[in-house]
Amino acid sequence: MSKLSIIVPVFNEEETVPIFYDALEKVHTQVPEYEFEYWFIDDGSTDNTIASIQALQTRTDTVHYVEFSRNFGKEAGLYAGLQHATGEYVAVMDVDLQDPPEMLPEMLAGVSSGEWDMVGARRTTRAGEPRIRTFFSDMFYKVINKISDTHLVNGARDYRVMSRQVVDAILSMTEYNRFSKGIFSWVGFKQKYLPYENVERVAGSTSWSFWSLFKYSIEGIVAFSQAPLTAIAILGVVSFVASIIGAIAIFIRALLVPASAIGGWPSLVVIMLFMGGIQLLSLGIVGRYIAAIYLESKHRPIYIARDVK
């Protein structure tokens, strides 16, 4: 009997854990030829999430968990889950049931048939989300797909089923600054995405704020594109050429109309502020890449586990 390992990162989800498990067990009855293995990755929850998972363990020996020593982020949770999964097939799902469990049999069939190495889910609508978040999400995908060689599918979720070969390829990428959506695409293989409409959370509230999503998008751009650095170099060349042309124009004007050389300080202040702003922006972008290099050079572990069962 083939085994499907289901990786579920959780953070303060004590209400949703049992609901998620019961929903997945109903789906399990549709694919009885597979053994299910659950790996809940607790990302430093401050509520009773661990107790909720431990309660499930008293009901079945298919439930396991990794408890982090503190909050390391969802990316670390995904990596930890992939490390501990033992199945021939591995699924990644959110515990809030916004990833429809009823899609799992079709995704699993696509991978187990050998036709696809990875089958994921893609949202076609964002009903229920603030329009501003939808707008910036669409803009992120447009921007990163223009400046990166790694194509990201708009609306793609982390929800997917992968073969063992794909999982091993992802685990070989041990970088500290992780952006799984990019990593899933970068490893290649035969991939397919199934469309579905957005689903509301079954319980609890999301821990993803607009600011955290914005920072996550910056991580993605830094991890999978060098275009910002190229843009800075081009901007520097353009600014240098423009300054030379401006200096020549001012010199010629001073020769032809000497009196005009006295005025012009307001425009000079504006130009100085403009150039200073460009320099600070450039330093900020370069600094973000240097910070990523700095964190990688430390060789710190992606996560630290307090308990594994």
Domain extent listing, the chain: 2-208+301-308, 226-298
Q: What is the phi-psi region of residue 160: left when phi exceeds 0, alpha when psi lies from -120 to 50, beta otherwise?
A: beta
CA distance 142 to 154: 8
Q: What is the pLDDT of residue 270?
A: 62
pLDDT band at 41, cuts 50/70/90?
very high
Q: What is the pLDDT of residue 245?
A: 73
β-pairing verdict for 191-196 and 118-123: parallel
pLDDT band at 207, cuts 50/70/90?
low
- Has this prediction a pTM greater than 0.95? no
CA distance 7 to 215: 24
Q: What is the pLDDT of residue 36?
A: 92
Q: What is the pLDDT of residue 40?
A: 93
CA distance 120 to 153: 10
Mean pLDDT, residues 268-297: 71
Q: What is the pLDDT of residue 200?
A: 60
Looking at per-residue confidence, does 268 or 40 come out higher? 40
Q: What is the phi-psi region of residue 189: left when phi exceeds 0, alpha when psi lies from -120 to 50, beta otherwise?
A: left
**What pLDDT digit, counting tens, does each position of 112-157 carry?**
888 889 898 888 776 656 666 666 666 766 666 666 666 777 767 8
pLDDT band at 102, cuts 50/70/90?
confident
Which 3 state secondary structure label does DSSP give 40?
Answer: strand
pLDDT band at 99, cuts 50/70/90?
confident
Q: How many CB atoms lie within 10 A of CB 234?
A: 10
Mean pLDDT, residues 184-201: 78
Tokens of residue 29, six digits: 């009855």
What is the helix (H) or strand (E) element at residue 239, kind and residue range? Answer: helix 227-256
CA distance 269 to 274: 9
Mean pLDDT, residues 254-283: 65
Select, from the ranges 94-103, 200-209, 277-286, the one with the highest average predicted confidence (pLDDT). 94-103
2, 87 Cβ separation under 8 angstroms: yes
Q: What is the mean pLDDT of the chain?
A: 78
CA distance 103 to 106: 6
193, 158 Cβ separation under 8 angstroms: no
What is the helix (H) or strand (E) element at residue 27, kind and residue range? Answer: helix 16-28
CA distance 11 to 124: 26
Q: Closest Cα to residue 208, out of 98, 70, 89? A: 98
Q: What is the pLDDT of residue 219?
A: 65
Alpha carbon 80 to chain centroid distance?
Answer: 15
- Residue count (the chain): 309
Contacts of 258 (CB under 8 A, 6+ apart): none
Mean pLDDT, residues 200-208: 53
Considering the domain 2-208+301-308, what is its CATH architecture?
Alpha-Beta Complex (3.90)
